[in-house]
Amino acid sequence: MSFTKISEIQVEAEKSFRAAQNSQELYDQKVKFLGKNGIFTELMKHMATLSKEEKPQFGQAVNIAKKILETLYEDIESQIKNKEIQERMLIESVDFTLPSTSIEMGHPHPVQKVTEEIVQILARLGYSLRLGPLIEKDRYNFEALNIPKDHPARDMQDTFFVDKEHVLRTHTSPIQIHSLEGETPPLRILGTGSVFRCDSDISHLPHFHQIEGMCVDRNVSMADLKGTISFFVQEFFGSGLKTRFRPSFFPFTEPSAEVDCSCPICKGKGCSLCKNSGWIEIGGAGLINPHVFKFSGVNYPHWQGFAFGFGIERMAIIKYGIPDIRLFPENDLRFLRQFVK
């Protein structure tokens, strides 16, 4: 075994390293020449056949060749790895010119949509929005609205009691009282939000939504109330619809009326929604009862007023011909998606 053999193998290894096309091929060549069972390890076995003087020189020559090859390997490896990273980045990089995958956007719930629509219509008549607590003192939900304890009118609204003095508000009318107590007339306010009643069937929910309007000013009459509601009905349901008042009773308004509008589906001709009557009930209204002003310390008859209240789900049912009120809280996307626009 001559020293030339070492340089022959070194040259062959260098050639193989340089010929490698990728890091795996390069690694295979490293194993072949420098590995534990590689050609250089084989070479070292010939040491036994050498003389005492030749042995250290041979060993040193093998080690130098190995060192040179290891350095060369590292250089080529870093070049190949860089090239591979560049190639991978080209393949895997994000192509910003591709069309995006569609992302489904959320949209307002029909109750919110209808609320916003009503608020916008009445804002044009100078009404602005107020909110109130969902848990109300008995005083605000009943007492100050002229519904004393043991008054039969309390049975009109099946109440969820929180404790002896607090209820889940059964209507948005308490917002009237907060406004009368905290603000100075003239007032045009809207109160809206969740209300709760122990009630559940095809047209009643235990948790539903109302919107309430209150106008307090000088010389307010039923004609002003009717004019306001007629304007609203035509703007919300469509022009040409009529409004009618039927005598009714609410302790907080006097006189009181149930408000009907001509059926927006059949335009008054008669259909299943209006039960062939041509009319459909949308809420209650009336002139503010002087007792309510007295309870909240407002100077009556210097100030007078009217109020009206609608069920929001009911307004949506009428406008969109929805067959069952229970669809609103179900959150079935097939139902909700119909209100995207």
Interface contacts to ligand FA5, rule CB under 6 A: 157, 171, 173, 197, 199, 204-205, 208, 210, 212, 250, 253, 281, 283-286, 307-309, 311, 313-314, 325
Q: Which residue number, 235 or 281, has a Cβ lying nearer to ligand FA5?
A: 281
Q: Which residue number, 61 or 134, has a Cβ lying nearer to ligand FA5?
A: 134
Angle at CA of residue 144, ends 293 and 158, nearest 5°? 135
Q: Which residue number, 20 or 325, has a Cβ lying nearer to ligand FA5?
A: 325
To ligand FA5, the closest distance from the beta carbon of 301 in angstroms equals 19
To ligand FA5, the closest distance from the beta carbon of 233 in angstroms equals 14
Q: Is 153 exposed, middle or buried (0-12, 13-18, 19+ CB in 10 A)?
A: middle
Q: Which residue number, 130 or 197, has a Cβ lying nearer to ligand FA5?
A: 197
To ligand FA5, the closest distance from the beta carbon of 283 in angstroms equals 4
Q: Which residue number, 159 or 253, has a Cβ lying nearer to ligand FA5?
A: 253
CA–CA distance, 162 with 175 (Å, rounded to integer)? 19
To ligand FA5, the closest distance from the beta carbon of 230 in angstroms equals 16
For residue 64, the one-letter residue type is I
To ligand FA5, the closest distance from the beta carbon of 285 in angstroms equals 5
To ligand FA5, the closest distance from the beta carbon of 256 in angstroms equals 6
Closest CA relative to residue 157, chosen from 194, 196, 213? 196
Q: Is 148 left (phi over 0), alpha (psi -120 to 50) or beta?
A: beta
Which residue has its beta carbon closest to ligand FA5? 311
Task: Write out the two tokens for 246.
Answer: 């039927």
Instruction: For residue 215, list its beta bridge partners.
Output: 188, 306
Q: Which residue number, 242 or 326, has a Cβ lying nearer to ligand FA5?
A: 326
Angle at CA of residue 124, ends 259 and 309, nearest 5°? 25
Helix or strand holding residue 41 (H, E): helix 39-45
